[in-house]
């Protein structure tokens, strides 16, 4: 288990990615050898380096990207073999479609048809066989890492629940340790896990249950931290981690309920240098200009559809809150009736909103309505990646009900963002709070590589029609 963009990523995910690459390469090499088994000269001609290596690497890269879009390397790695076979087959089919377009533009990269077809069959056999063996070994052969939660409270329960969702990490919550002595009336179970004892017994519990990591979820304002005990255990090789940091790495969001102002002040992250912001702005403008050029035909068709579908303007202009709380006019293709807010009262959009036009739902699902926001990015109102821009009326309300909410305006709002790809469109204050927790995670860990990962996830959402 390691961290990538401050999130836990299992070694199993990385292993499958590298192993699939090796299996694809092996399948293509073997299929080429079988294709020219009786003709050594032809085999030597078609496998000359570096051309043969370029062809194989292109096929491998396309199939790995296709596999990532079909969730072959996500946290949901414990699909049954049948479902993995379906996802793999779907990935190979999409990969073949992409390769056909690539070969049309660059015909020199094309492999022999028979060798390629045989390679596809071998890929299925190699990859599924490997995954079946790894899944079996992962469940039955590899020992789980035992986790001890120091503090039997709601935060500790959240840690146990999130770990139970991440079987790919090979972690197991062995139990809880209470901050005080256990009385006769105390329940031996807490949040579905056994209470193993009190802090006084911490070192004995760690030794008895072969604990490799302690997650500290004590309330520092009410419960004293057993510094000396943790220090001795840490120097003996036992890992010690703060529960808030672990929960953030497990979920990709920063839980507000357990935070105070000191966490923002002393927490690592939230780094934004002039250089990194200048690079981010350059990439924003570059991507938006390219986006406008590539999407111009789609935008013209969308504009025509909006005009024919219902009366009213094609573009919808709405005031949103931007960088440092400054208002700006956000551009969208209109997806609601012209009288959606005839009474002047701002309302959240809800699922199956009756105000949405006949084609508006389709445009929202595939995010065609947001294409004009490329212009907002170019003029400097927005970024390509960032928190979702909200209306001033909602910002005023949410700032009163959600702590630290105004901190999301320390960066330009984005066309897409971490909260948008991780959480469905919300219509309540509770939804806004959850989305803000993802926004906080992004603000804490903002980087160019993280932005690229969000773009990758956004494209996946658009392709599968999972937009709001």
Q: Which residues have a Cβ under 8 Å from the Cβ of 27 and sit 6 or more positions away?
A: 119, 120, 122, 123, 125, 126
pLDDT band at 1 (very low <50, low <70, confident <90, very high): low
Q: Which segments within 273-381 are labelled E, that is strand?
A: 315-321, 327-333
318 and 234 in a single domain? The answer is: no
Instruction: Let me know if residue 223 belongs to a domain.
Output: yes
Q: Tell whether 267 is covered by a domain.
A: no
Lowest mean pLDDT among 138-152, 160-174, 226-240: 138-152
Q: Are residue 444 and residue 324 in the same domain, yes or no?
A: yes
Q: Same structural domain for residues 281 and 241?
A: no
112: DSSP letter: P
Residues 214-236: what's their mean pLDDT?
Answer: 85
- Number of independent structural domains in the chain: 3
Buried b (16+ CB within 10 A) or exposed e, 397-416: bbbeebebbeebbebbbbbb
Condensed to tens digits (0 to 9), the pLDDT of residues 319-330 reads: 999 999 999 999
- Is 459 found in the same domain as 384? yes
- State whether 126 and 6 are in the same domain: yes
DSSP state of 417: -
Which domain, by its residues, includes 241? 145-251
Same domain, 56 and 194: no
Q: Report how far apart, in Å, the C-alpha atoms of 140 and of each of 136, 143, 148, 173 are.
A: 6, 8, 22, 18
- Tens of pLDDT, residue by residue over 62-78, are 999 998 888 888 765 55
The torsion defined by the Cα of 59, 60, 63 and 69, in degrees rounded to 10, comes to -130
**C-beta separation of 72 from 16 below 8 A:** yes
Q: Tell me the whole-structure pTM to 2 decimals.
A: 0.81
Do 285 and 355 lie in one domain? The reply is yes
Rounded to 10°, the helix 11-35/113-140 angle is: 150
Say whether both 188 and 294 belong to one domain: no
One domain for residues 155 and 236: yes
285 in the same domain as 227: no
Q: Which of 140, 175, 190 is the last residue of a domain?
A: 140
The CATH number for 151's domain is 3.40.50.720
Separation in Å, CA 326 to CA 10, 323, 411, 424, 437: 41, 6, 11, 26, 22
**Domain for residue 22, yes or no?**
yes
For residues 86 and 96, give the distance between their C-alpha atoms in angstroms, rounded to a whole number: 15
pLDDT of 64 = 92
**Does residue 373 lie in a domain region?**
yes
Q: What are phi and psi of 357, to 5 degrees?
A: -70, 175
Closest CA to 12 of 73, 79, 81: 73
Q: In this structure, is residue 258 part of a structural domain?
A: no
- 396 lies in the same domain as 452: yes
**Lowest model confidence (mean pLDDT) among 30-34, 70-74, 388-392:** 70-74
Contact 98, 66 (CB under 8 A): yes
Residue 266 lies in a domain: no
What's phi and psi for 226, nearest 5 deg? Answer: -75, 75
Q: Give a yes or no: residue 319 inside a domain.
A: yes
241 in any annotated domain:
yes
Domain boundary, last residue among 185, 220, 251: 251
Boundary (domain end) residue, out of 140, 172, 188: 140
Average predicted confidence (pLDDT) for the chain = 84
Same domain, yes or no, for 17 and 130? Answer: yes
Count of H helices and E strands in the chain?
17, 12
């Amino acid at each position: 288990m390691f961290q990538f963009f401050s999130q836990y990523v299992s070694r199993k995910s990385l292993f499958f990615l590298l192993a699939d690459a090796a299996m694809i390469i092996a399948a293509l090499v073997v299929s080429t050898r079988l294709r020219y088994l009786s003709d050594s000269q032809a085999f030597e001609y078609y496998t000359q380096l570096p051309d043969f290596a370029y062809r194989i690497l292109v096929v491998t890269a396309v199939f790995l990207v296709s596999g990532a879009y079909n969730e072959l390397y996500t946290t949901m790695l414990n699909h049954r073999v049948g479902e993995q076979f379906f996802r793999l087959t779907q990935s190979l089919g999409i990969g073949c479609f992409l390769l056909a377009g690539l070969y049309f533009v660059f015909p020199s990269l094309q492999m022999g048809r028979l060798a390629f077809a045989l390679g596809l069959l071998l890929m299925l056999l190699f990859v599924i066989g490997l995954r079946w063996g790894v899944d079996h070994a992962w469940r039955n052969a590899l020992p789980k890492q035992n986790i001890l939660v120091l503090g039997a409270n709601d935060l500790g329960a959240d840690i146990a629940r999130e770990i139970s969702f991440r079987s790919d990490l090979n972690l197991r919550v062995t139990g809880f340790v209470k901050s005080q002595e256990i009385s006769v009336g105390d329940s031996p179970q807490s949040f579905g896990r056994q209470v193993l004892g009190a802090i006084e017994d911490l070192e004995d519990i760690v030794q008895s249950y072969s604990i490799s990591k302690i997650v500290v979820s004590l309330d520092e304002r009410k419960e004293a931290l057993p510094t000396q005990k943790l220090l001795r255990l840490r120097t003996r090789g036992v890992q010690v981690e703060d529960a808030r940091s672990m929960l953030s790495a497990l979920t990709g969001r920063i839980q507000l309920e357990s935070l105070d102002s000191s966490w923002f002040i002393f927490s690592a992250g939230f780094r934004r240098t002039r250089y990194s912001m200048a690079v981010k702005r350059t990439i924003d403008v570059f991507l938006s200009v390219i986006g406008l050029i590539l999407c111009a035909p789609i935008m013209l068709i969308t504009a025509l559809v909006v005009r024919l579908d219902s009366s009213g303007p094609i573009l919808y202009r709405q005031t949103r809150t931007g960088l440092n709380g400054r208002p700006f006019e956000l551009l969208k293709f209109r997806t609601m009736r012209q009288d959606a807010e005839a009474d002047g009262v701002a309302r959240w959009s809800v699922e199956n909103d009756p105000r949405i036009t006949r084609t508006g739902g389709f445009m929202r699902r595939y995010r065609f309505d947001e294409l004009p926001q490329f212009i907002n990015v170019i003029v400097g109102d927005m970024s390509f990646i960032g928190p979702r821009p909200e209306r001033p009326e909602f910002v005023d309300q949410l700032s009163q009900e959600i702590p630290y909410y105004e901190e999301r305006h320390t960066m330009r709002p984005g066309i897409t963002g971490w909260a948008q790809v991780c959480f469905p469109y919300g219509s309540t204050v509770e939804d806004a709070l959850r989305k803000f927790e993802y926004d906080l995670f992004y603000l804490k860990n903002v980087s160019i590589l993280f932005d690229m990962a969000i773009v990758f996830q956004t494209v996946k959402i658009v392709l599968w029609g999972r937009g709001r």
